Amino acid sequence: MGAQIRVYRQKIASTSSMKKIFKAMELIATSRITKARERVSASLPYANAITRAVSAVSSQHDIDHVLTTEPENPTRAAVLIMSSDRGLAGAYSANVLRKAEQLLSRLGEEGKDVDVYVVGRKAQTYFDFRGRGYKKLWTGQTDAPVAERAAEIGEVLVDAFLTDTADGGVDEIHVVFTEFVSLVKQNPHVVRLLPLEVVEEEAATAEDVLPLYEYEPDAEEVLDALLPKYIESRIFNAMLQSAASELANRQRAMKSAGDNATSLIKDYTLLMNNARQAEITQELTELIAGADALNNS
């Protein structure tokens, strides 16, 4: 019986230590969410402005530009998947990977080959475990992204888009990330970055009238300059939303883990007390039995 009590004490001690870790991680995530939300908000004006500029150029001029023209028979697509580097964030990475698998399945049904680009070690582990390759991998800073990483990713994707499919290029670029709606709601989301048909429609509904621009030297060169920056801003905004979503999921997961640890400690304490009471009862029973034996003798 004494051994059983020691086991419960060890479980209580280990669970208490884990509870402290969960609480610390919850507090860290909570403290970083505010800054992550501010960065998402701060990135929106630039992203919206450049989106409207690109939309104005492409909608007000009849330009046959490679980045705004829908290919007749698209055969290859690039998919950028944004996951996390670390775990302990609930179903955050699992949800975005599930959304990515749905997209990959749909593209496959459409007869398109897919080049996968991966952000985060969780997605890397997912594809490595299944023996499925990916074109390029970026890890680190998924919960605190930097603009330089977005620029690097954007350059790689735009280069792939500008390359002919016969030489390994792609006709479409899709991004799978987690859209940050609020602290309690984050949605896995798919956006087709290129070609720009879907994005143009979204941008055009932002306001009733698009601004009129005069271009020097011409609209096509303006598109050449704007679109890489547009792609970079969209990717960076998606990375920021993913980071905020990751922190929100981690905060909830750590709070839930801490609550479960508290419940386990209560259960183990009750079981330990029951074991101690049973041990005392057994000792008393043995003493009484011994006293009765002495009296009878």
> Domain boundaries in the chain?
26-252
Q: Which fold has domain 26-252?
A: Pyruvate Kinase; Chain: A, domain 1 (3.40.1380)
pLDDT of residue 139: 94
Q: Which two tokens stand for residue 45?
A: 């004006």
CB 193 within 8 A of CB 174: yes
- What is the residue-level pLDDT of the chain in tens, covering all 297 positions? 578 888 888 999 999 999 999 999 999 999 899 899 999 989 888 887 887 777 777 666 666 666 677 777 889 999 999 999 998 898 999 999 999 999 999 999 999 999 999 999 999 999 999 999 999 999 988 999 999 999 999 999 999 998 888 888 999 999 999 999 998 899 999 999 888 753 443 434 445 455 566 666 677 777 778 878 888 999 999 999 999 999 999 999 999 999 999 999 999 999 888 888 887 787 778 777 777 777 776
- Conformation bin of residue 174: beta by default, left when phi > 0, alpha when psi is -120 to 50: beta
Residue with tokens 């919850």: 26
pTM, whole model, 2 decimals?
A: 0.82
The number of residues in the chain equals 297
